[in-house]
Structure 1
Amino acid sequence: MKKSVKYIVFLAVVAVVAYNSVYFKALDEVKAGTSSFNAAKYAGEFWTARLIPALKKSVSYNVLLPLLQTEKDKAFEQYSHALGIGNIRYFLVKGEGEVISVDENEVIVRLDSAGQRPELRLATEYVFGNAVRDASGSLHINEFENSMDFNNVSAEINKIIRDKVIPPFRSKVKKGDVVSFHGAIELNREYLDLKRVEVIPVELRIKNEELRMKI
């Protein structure tokens, strides 16, 4: 009988401890933790305080291209960034060239590079992904409480590009213009394709237009 009483008391204690250790939250409350994070504000501050200053360290595509062709591993180790250890890597690049085509979704620019005349595609319509967020290597996931906030920052950075960087350039650029750019590119280390490299722009300038304005 005494054993039964002790057993019942033991179960009661376990039940009380378990009750006070485990609790449930409404799904709305869980989401509220994420909704308090202002991704647009964070992206704007990152753009001004970290990304724009980082453009000074952009590698010229005229330098990067021959290195990718002859010493691929060195090029990736020296100039690329990424969150993980996979094959997808991001580069912050700069360049200058002549516009050879203004298409619906992109502007194609031909550069002079070490005797080559490579073509790059400046994205002017579909801007998505994490290239600009990750290319500078100055933003880290451990700065965020969860991956959703981190991804929302990427989306807001891309929105800045779509709303503020591309429209003034797109409205004026035409075939034959000489343009300069800073931006991010995504390359696959294992399956490297240098024929259709796309630049997600951070800064775009029409150089011959600037010259006309000075005159």
Structure 2
Amino acid sequence: MPKNSLKYAILLVLLGVVAYNSVYFKKLDEVKAAAGPNANQTFDAAAYASTFWSSKLLPAAPGATDLNTLITLLKTDKEKAFATYSHALGIGNIRYFLVKAEGKITAVGDNDVTVTLSSGESIKLATEYIFGNAARDASGLIRITEFDNTMDLNNVSSELNSIIRTKVVPDLKASAKPGSQLNFVGAIELNREHLHLENLEVIPIVVEQRAEGMGQRALEVN
């Protein structure tokens, strides 16, 4: 046999051995068992959001950062404010804060309710455009490792925003009147690199409103 033919034959044999040892088969039941009992289950974003809302986010509301204190610190020491009070699941300049404050309603618009805080700062409670990740990320109570993919993560944001639109906003819009006092807890989104504190918008999570001379009414507590 020519030397070249012998060389090629040996090479083919070696490749065959390598290929044989590189391929193996497992029973389908073994693969499913290794993947775990929830491998074939579809993530239920609505159920997750509902549980998170009632068992984590609302209980965390009383411990939210005072918005007046936060605004003052953002003006004097931005880096400390972000490092101490902000949260986010990803890296970057977009960060979220869970805040609380009290103030007086000064205007009611189609898209928001303007509130003057006790410090004199003016903010807006959103009533129309409830979107983004503020409600999901502001508390810092969700971990990215809980999710298999970004779609599930984004769906949780959508479901939380839906809860706010259906549970919080309708009563706020129906009851908001200029001159009324209210307490609120909400979520805000700020850009650390391009910080703008004018026209600050808050996504409402808990709102307690009272008219002058009347008792306080909780618009969203459950």
TM-score, reference length from structure 2:
0.80
- The match for 1:177 is 180
Which one is further off, 59-68 or 147-156? 59-68
**Cα distance in 2 between the residues matched to 1:85 and 1:144:** 17
Q: 2:138 maps to which residue?
A: 135
The answer to whether 1:119 aligns with 2:140 is no
Indicate the residue corresponding to 1:7 in structure 2. Answer: 11
Deviations 1:71-97 (A, max 9, x none): 222222211112234222111101111
Secondary structure at the counterpart of residue 128 of structure 1: coil
2:157 is the alignment partner of 1:157: no
SS at match of 2:215: helix
Of the structure 1 ranges 71-80 and 144-153, higher mean CA displacement relative to structure 2 is found in: 71-80
**Would the alpha carbon gap of residues 105 and 37 (structure 1) be closer, same or farther in structure 2, given more than 3 Å must change?**
same
DSSP-derived class of the 1:108 partner: strand
Provide the rounded CA distance (Å) in 1 between the counterparts of 2:40 and 2:95: 28
3-state SS of paired residue (2:170)? helix
Query: Is the CA contact 2:209–2:216 (under 8 Å) kept in the aligned structure 1?
Result: no
The 8 Å contact of residues 34 and 149 in structure 1, kept in 2 or not, is answered as: no
Gaps of 5+ in 1: 22-32
1:111 positional shift: 1.0
Contact preservation (8 Å) 1:90, 1:185: yes
- Aligned-partner Cα distance in 2 for 1:207–1:17: 75
Structure 1 match to 2:85:
79
Q: Which letter maps to 1:181?
A: F
The equivalent of 2:67 in structure 1 is: 61
Relative to structure 1, is the Cα distance of residues 18 and 131 closer, same or farther in structure 2, using a 3 angstrom cutoff? Answer: same
Larger Rg: 2
Residue correspondence of structure 1 range 20-31 to structure 2 within 5 A: none
Instruction: Measure the CA separation in 2 of the matches of 1:190 and 1:11.
Output: 56
Cα distance in structure 1, aligned partners of 2:136 and 2:11 = 59
**Number of aligned pairs?**
199
Are 2:182 and 2:208, in contact at CA under 8 Å, matched by a contact in 1?
yes
Q: Which residue number corresponds to residue 36 of structure 2?
A: none
Give CA deviations for 1:95-128 in whole Å, capped at 9, x if unaligned: 1111111111111111121xxx111110001111
**In structure 1, C-alpha distance between the alignment counterparts of 2:54 and 2:42, rounded to whole Å:** 22
CA RMSD of aligned residues (A): 2.3
Counterpart mapping for 1:87-102 below 5 A: 87-102=93-108
Percent sequence identity is 50
Cα deviations by residue, 1:139-175 (Å, 9 ceiling, x for unpaired): 0111111111111111111111111111122122122
Q: Distance in 2 between matches of 1:8 and 1:67?
A: 72
Aligned-pair CA distance for 1:5 = 3.9
Q: List runs of 5+ in structure 2 lacking aligned partners.
A: 26-38, 218-222
1:145 lines up with 2:148 in the alignment: yes
Cα distance in 2, alignment partners of residues 175 and 153 from structure 1:
34
Amino acid across the alignment from 1:59: T
**Counterpart residue identity of residue 121, structure 1:** K
